[in-house]
């Protein structure tokens, strides 16, 4: 529903349907590591072990969470306005 790729990590807002979070993270990390290693002609682990998550309860307004996620480049000082950062998206746009 929302995501941003930062220089050394990523944030996303996702609704789990068919997989557990652990299964989804394993798949994302595995596939992206293969792609990144091929592009950089290197081998080995790319992502740190583990991940941090926060469950959102049914009925909570998702928009504030999405705004927080896509504003990460602003808070990190990477850009002055979010439109200048290209590695993000949200389903509300």
- Render pLDDT for 38-60 as a digit per residue (tens, 0 to 9): 999 999 988 888 889 988 888 78
pLDDT of residue 55: 86
Residue 36's nearest CA partner among 27, 25, 23, 45 is 45
pTM of the model as a whole = 0.79
Distance CA 34, CA 92 (A): 30
State the CATH architecture for 2-90: 2-Layer Sandwich (3.30)
Q: What is the pLDDT of residue 1?
A: 93
With bands split at pLDDT 50, 70 and 90, how would you rate the model's confidence at 92? confident
């Amino acid at each position: 529903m929302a995501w941003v790729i930062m220089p050394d990590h990523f944030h996303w807002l996702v609704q789990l349907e068919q997989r557990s979070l652990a299964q989804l993270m394993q798949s994302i990390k595995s596939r992206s590591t293969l792609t990144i290693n091929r592009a950089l002609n290197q081998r080995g682990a790319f992502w740190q072990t583990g991940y941090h998550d926060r469950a959102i309860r049914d009925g909570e307004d998702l928009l504030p969470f999405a705004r927080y996620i896509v504003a990460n480049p602003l808070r990190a000082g990477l850009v002055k306005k979010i439109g200048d950062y290209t590695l993000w998206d949200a389903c509300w746009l």
